[in-house]
Amino acid sequence: MSEIDELTQKLAATITFLPDKPEETAESTAKALWLAAIGQPCSVIFAQTHTLPALDHIGRVRLQNLVARRLEGIPLAHLTERQSFMGIELLAGPEALIPRKETEIVGRAALAKLHELVMSRGKVRVVDVCTGSGNLAVSLAVHEPFCEVWGVDISADAVKLAERNAAVHQLSSRVFFRQGDLLDPVRSDEFYGSCDLLVCNPPYISSAKVSDLPAETGSHEPRLAFDGGNFGVTIISRLLKEAPKYLRSTSWLCFEVGLGQGSYFARTIGKMVEYCAVETFADEQGNIRALAAMRK
């Protein structure tokens, strides 16, 4: 049996892989740690496309250390410092939420709206609220060159990580970040009524349930990224009320929701006079995981 096969078996026997990171399996984790050990760090998704070179003594020691830390519960993306999102490689770390595959649902919905807006308006302005690592902001800018993106987050550490991700993808000339609570960083005449698209992956877990998160998540990723207040709807409810002030007419707000929240927010938007349309986007199991609301 090869070294990589032995490592795969060891990981399979000792790690409980989380359902919100379906790309992480024993085999893909082994490959990602192997590549990190030889100084070629990449996301677990990109690791699966690489041929694994042989380990020298130093590489083997590094691998043992990485495996030990993974078995202690350190998230894989914190060890590789990489995470894939919407087909691009991003820097990852404890400063912000590790981008999840499920967030690509709102990412794809927002990108489709963005392409339509560019076709009809030319260059457009996007604001990414609760930007975290900048995964949505950077991904949208990578896939649509005719947009300017402003990412905002309450965490100064997250903003610094997001800026690094924009720099890695050479987007610093049209992707910008500011620190502050929700839309406060863009609260000015420059942004009022001038935004074509608002996107958001907000905290949507109720405060009471944040402590129930798996240790790998709750102990290593920032609470700010999860805690959505009472019933998990506080941040999204604020966003729905504040967003219309920033959006141009017939522009869009796209945001992610937690399991079981989709229908509630669709009804809520339907009752708000500021919006004239709402669309829902479901995961493979049929659960609504993202919504898009059009400003009247």
In the chain, what percentage of residues exceed pLDDT 90? 97
Which CATH number among 1.10.8, 2.60.120, 2.40.50, 1.10.3470 corresponds to the domain 3-80? 1.10.8
Tell me: pLDDT of 216 over 90: yes
pLDDT tier, 231 (very low <50, low <70, confident <90, very high otherwise): confident
Tell me: pLDDT of 119 over 90: yes
Q: What is the mean pLDDT of residues 152-173?
A: 98
Q: What is the mean pLDDT of residues 15-36?
A: 96
pLDDT tier, 6 (very low <50, low <70, confident <90, very high otherwise): very high
pLDDT digits 0-9 by tens, 121-143:
999 999 999 999 999 999 999 99
pLDDT digits 0-9 by tens, 46-86:
999 888 999 999 999 999 999 999 999 999 999 999 999 99
Place of tokens 């993808």: 169
Give the per-residue pLDDT at 230: 87
**Where in the chain are the domains?**
3-80, 103-295
Q: What is the mean pLDDT of residues 170-177?
A: 97
Ramachandran class of 120: left when φ > 0, alpha when ψ lies in -120 to 50, beta otherwise: alpha
pTM of the complete model: 0.96
pLDDT tier, 250 (very low <50, low <70, confident <90, very high otherwise): very high
CA distance to 10, 159, 160, 161, 170, per residue, from 165 (Å):
33, 10, 9, 6, 9
The CB-side HSE value for 228 (13 A sphere, CA atoms) comes to: 21
User: Superfamily for 103-295?
Assistant: Vaccinia Virus protein VP39 (3.40.50.150)
Give the rounded distance of the alpha carbon of 289 from its chain centre.
13
Identify the weakest region by mean pLDDT among 43-57, 124-138, 240-254, 263-277: 43-57
